[in-house]
Amino acid sequence: MAPPLIQLKDIALTFGGTPLLSGAELSVSEGERVCLVGRNGSGKSTLLKIAAGTVEADKGTRFVQPGATVRYLPQEVDFGDAATTLDYVRQGLGPTDDPYQATYLLEQLGLTGDEPTQNLSGGEARRAAIARALAPDPDILLLDEPTNHLDLTTIEWLESELASRRAALVLISHDRRFLTSLSRATVWLDRGITRRIDRGFGDFEAWRDDVLAEEEREQHKLGRKIVDEEHWLRYGVSGRRKRNVKRLAGLQTLREKRRTYRGSTGSVKLGASEADASGALVLDADHIAKAFGERVIVSDFSTRIQRGDRIGIVGPNGAGKTTLINLLIGTEPPDSGTVRLGANLEVATLDQRRARLDPNATVAEALTGGSSDQVTIGGVRKHVSGYMKDFLFAPEQARTPVHALSGGERGRLMLAQALAQPSNLLVLDEPTNDLDIETLDVLEEMLSDYAGTVLLISHDRDFLDRVVNGVIVPEGSGKWLEYAGGYSDMLTQRGADVRRPAAAKVKTADKAAAPAPSRASPKSKLSFKDKHALETLPKEMDAFRATIAALQSELDDPQLFVKNRKRFDEASAAIAAAHVLLATAEERWLELEIMREELENG
């Protein structure tokens, strides 16, 4: 095996009471692609800071191969005294580095280099920090949540750029597809220690579940052994006192082992407080348009959203995704066109910028409004500490001010706020930001069980594929198109990725070169989209058959061609189209039914 470029051994670090790290290790050799995974608060970012040399451990050793260059991308960007983005990127270059790389990478990331650092948005600051990390072409890249605040265009560019580089990588990210695409080894940080497999993230979750299941079995065996030892000491032969003393010491050791065992962190329990059902029609937008000055955001867009739909809105930052959602739910009026909202709508929203969180309020006040210590969920009163526990907050955090929370904790708090509101329409703007993978799993489950309608803005391709059954994409000049299915389905139908024009505007040669949609990891269960399709396809097929029967009855009239040639042509075209739609629906239903049976039979 190649010698490590960077190595951490027996790293220990304690903040306050329970150790954050206790014997953690990390080793990365030339060209290795390692993803570092674990729960929010498990110490991933801290371990990466120790690897970068910006934090010193209480115990353990850090080794970096002499001459190896290390570049670290932190979650929070500090621009220091750099006046512009170009100044900031150039400050990260060494004496022998190519200064042109700073300008080139900023251009690739959509920046000019002239942007004042004090006026940058979150996405612009992230792109400048990525350019600074990549510009020296380092031997080792330590990247902490590189996709945060980036749009799909930039995420896909970054994925391609990192794949083409020779640098060794250590990645922390909540983006499953990003990790699956780039990682070739996985380090799991859990309860202060690290475990490693020399396989990418695609194999991690099954391996993690096996490890936790084996731990449960070992704890069960330990419990039974303690019971057996206690029974022997109470009822064993009294003449064997010396052996009793020895076994008593062994029993004390077993009890201490059980007492000090740190079980896996509890799981998040997400559940939305649902209002009465909305009408079958949630909203109907008819030829709406919106512009700010000469900049057209939405032009002549129409859609109809029914109860139970899960609609994802994707596109580059600045395309107008949030504006489009505000138009659809009626919080912002269109310049022209109409939006008709359905009956009995109760809307709950999650703001991308977490603007509704008062930084000086405590966690408990943020959830209760400061009026009591109770939260009402689904019509049931619940103590705020119990509701906090569902979102992995400790009881002592009830009085913690919001500004002291980590990014992941603020994300969970905003989710807790939004889901506590009675709703039948959830509007989620970047809900996956700063959430760990386990929390994303539970959020997906909650959305699949939610009886209402969901409008979702996200740059997480895997999350979109698992959750939504429709995607709205900008096509430029204010035009938006709606596609059935998830993100990968949209790519298949569109014939291009989100960086390029729609299929109708792409030359044949470009279509042939268009990348195939990314494949998600093998499924262990049906996604919401698939379950929804299994439920609705039979009704759709019956509707197609009824349409075909009605059209056939009309065409059976031998005089139709003579009496009304136009109607005959229309009916002939319509019945041919209905047959195609029926065949497609039948094939899809059969495919899903086979998939369901395979999953149920294991």
Report the binding-site residues for ATP: 38-45, 315-322
What type of residue sits at position 542? Answer: D
Q: What is the DSSP letter of 374?
A: E
259 to 15, 190, 214, 414: CA distances (angstroms):
21, 18, 18, 34
Structure tokens at 347: 């809307």
Contacts of 424 (CB under 8 A, 6+ apart): 274, 275, 276, 277, 278, 307, 344, 345, 346, 451, 452, 453
Rounded to an integer, what distance in angstroms lies between the CA atom of residue 192 and that of residue 42?
A: 7
Rounded to an integer, what distance in angstroms lies between the CA atom of residue 476 and that of residue 28?
A: 43
- Rounded to a whole number of angstroms, the distance between the first and last alpha carbons of the chain is 37
In the chain, how long is the greatest CA-to-CA distance? Answer: 113
Structure tokens at 322: 């949030």
Torsion of CA 532, 537, 539, 542, to 10 degrees: 180
Query: For residue 265, which of 392, 449, 409, 106 has the smallest C-alpha distance?
Result: 392
Name the β-bridge partners of 21.
13
Structure tokens at 389: 């526990």
Rounded to an integer, what distance in angstroms lies between the CA atom of residue 383 and that of residue 65?
A: 53
Structure tokens at 275: 């209002």
Contacts of 131 (CB under 8 A, 6+ apart): 85, 89, 102, 105, 106, 108, 109, 111
Enclosing H/E stretch for 445: helix 437-449
Rounded to an integer, what distance in angstroms lies between the CA atom of residue 513 and that of residue 495?
A: 10
Rounded to an integer, what distance in angstroms lies between the CA atom of residue 435 and that of residue 406?
A: 11
Residues annotated within a binding site:
38-45, 315-322
What type of residue sits at position 161? Answer: E
Q: What is the DSSP letter of 54?
A: S
Rounded to an integer, what distance in angstroms lies between the CA atom of residue 364 and that of residue 370?
A: 7
Query: For residue 486, which of 502, 472, 503, 500 has the smallest C-alpha distance?
Result: 472
Token look-up 């009408």 returns 279
